[in-house]
Structure 1
């Protein structure tokens, strides 16, 4: 097993942070979207609790799904080769005169 470089470890840390942050945003949006009728409409207590619980459950599911989706797509150094370079690269091509 090869050791990871500092750049690879930093890239994974950034990817984990992005996955958690975007997962949190998706979870909040899902919770608000599901439980918004309970806040805007005059529903019975049973419906209010049901919508909030459904919003929390679906928000948690959306969070987990988003985190797994983002991290699953991240390239693994041992399986798919090294990570792409961090900065822009130049493609130097020289035209040969016949």
Structure 2
């Protein structure tokens, strides 16, 4: 926003749109990786029925949690104005 309580400028809206898109895409990717890592053995290996069911359920429970945590973390960092570190340069606050 412009600091006076008014409407955000187009550049700020565009930046927020990009950040939300990044948060969603990276969260889907990370949730998929977590699901594949946890439930993958149950899908591709011949495991006992109870262990396979347990791995699938844990994978199905962890994936949405990872998704939500990733989206929240990215958007909170964006709201705080966190910038990636730039080796060899001073931070804007110094």
Q: TM-score, normalised by structure 2?
A: 0.74
Name structure 1 gaps, 5 residues minimum.
81-98
Q: 1:19 & 1:33 partners in 2: Cα distance? A: 21
Aligned match for 2:57, one of 42, 45, 53:
53
Deviates more, 1:25-34 or 1:40-49: 40-49
Alignment partners' CA distance in 2, 1:28 and 1:72: 22
Larger radius of gyration: 1
Aligned to 2:67: 63
- What is the aligned partner in structure 2 of residue 29 from structure 1? 33
Which structure has more relative contact order (CA 8 Å, sep 6+)? It is: 1
CA distance in 1, matches of 2:13, 2:54: 43
- Provide the secondary structure at the position in 1 that maps to 2:51: helix
Q: Which runs of 5+ in 2 are unaligned?
A: 82-94
How many residues align? The count is 77
Aligned-residue RMSD, C-alpha: 1.5
Which piece of structure 1 moves more, 38-47 or 12-21?
A: 38-47
TM-score (norm 1): 0.71
